[in-house]
Amino acid sequence: MGGVLVDLDIEDCKAAFKEYLGYYEIDSIIDPCHQKGIYGDLEEGKITGEEFRSIVLESSRPGSDPADVDRAMWHILVGMEPYKAELLKKMSASYDLYLLSNNNPICIPHSGRIFADAGVPLDKIFRKSFLSYEMKALKPSYSFYKAVIDEIGLPSEEMLFIDDSQKNVDGAIAAGLPAIFYQPGSDLSALLADALADPSLKMEGVC
């Protein structure tokens, strides 16, 4: 999701945590693709959203509250370029689309609003969302991709996974899932057009 379909702003998120909460430990736990510390625990489902907020507030400015944590977290998500929303609509007419995301229970509601505002509600455009905090596993782990392949039920060679992290792409390939790397800011339409023209891919589902 983030980095491929929804643009991210890590630095703005860091600044928001410092401005709203006086929470400077954010610098050591946030990353464009692979979160660390309590942020990583949140995305792996090891701690709940409530527990994450509580831990952050313990090291924040007095008077800060859980709503400040949520507002700061949402700054990581910028929005969706209009052409990507149109691309999703076009692709969903011909292929089964699935969302595979390292995500968390604080950001996913805001992500849902971004997709809805773009005219592509999550529950309408994707057959299923595979979210790390619900699966208790993170990309690029083998267990994450194995669970996805097993649940979708298609031969893995008929699927295509797209990600903005080379580690996640390599992990998918190691699990038997064809995958390609997307460079944030580049043309996703062109990348998909090239993939569709590849005779070695027999795509039925796109992740």
Based on the domain organization, do 177 and 127 belong to the same domain?
Answer: yes
Closest CA to 76 of 19, 130, 30, 135: 30
Is 129:102 a contact under the CB 8 Å cutoff?
Answer: no
**pLDDT at residue number 157:** 86
Residue 15 has pLDDT above 80, yes or no: yes
Tell which of 77, 107, 123 closes a domain: 77
**pLDDT at residue number 31:** 80
Whole-number Å distance between alpha carbons of 157 and 110: 33
Average pLDDT, the chain: 94
Longest dimension (CA), the chain: 60
CATH of the domain at 99: 3.40.50.1000
Quick check: is 1 in a domain? no
Based on the domain organization, do 101 and 162 belong to the same domain?
Answer: yes
Task: Give the residue numbers spanning the domain of 115.
Answer: 79-206
User: Cα torsion for 12, 13, 14, 16, to the nearest 10°?
Assistant: 90
Number of domains in the chain: 2
Based on the domain organization, do 20 and 59 belong to the same domain?
Answer: yes
Based on the domain organization, do 18 and 49 belong to the same domain?
Answer: yes
Tell which of 16, 46, 77 closes a domain: 77
Inter-helix orientation angle 49-58/66-74, to 10°: 100
Q: How confident is the model at residue 35 (pLDDT cuts 50, 70, 90)?
A: confident
**pLDDT at residue number 29:** 94
Q: What are phi and psi of 199, to 5 degrees?
A: -65, -15
Based on the domain organization, do 20 and 83 belong to the same domain?
Answer: no
CATH of the domain at 68: 1.10.150.240
Is 178:196 a contact under the CB 8 Å cutoff?
Answer: no
Based on the domain organization, do 165 and 88 belong to the same domain?
Answer: yes
Based on the domain organization, do 116 and 178 belong to the same domain?
Answer: yes
Paired sense of beta strands 96-101 and 128-131, if any: parallel
Residues 6+ apart with CB under 8 A from 11: none
Whole-number Å distance between alpha carbons of 126 and 72: 27
Tell which of 37, 55, 77 closes a domain: 77
Q: How confident is the model at residue 197 (pLDDT cuts 50, 70, 90)?
A: confident
Based on the domain organization, do 58 and 109 belong to the same domain?
Answer: no
**pLDDT at residue number 202:** 65
pLDDT digits (tens, 9 = 90+) for 175-188: 999 999 999 999 99
What's the first-to-final CA gap in the chain, in angstroms? 10
Based on the domain organization, do 108 and 61 belong to the same domain?
Answer: no
pLDDT digits (tens, 9 = 90+) for 40-71: 999 999 999 999 999 999 999 999 999 999 99
Based on the domain organization, do 67 and 84 belong to the same domain?
Answer: no
Based on the domain organization, do 110 and 143 belong to the same domain?
Answer: yes
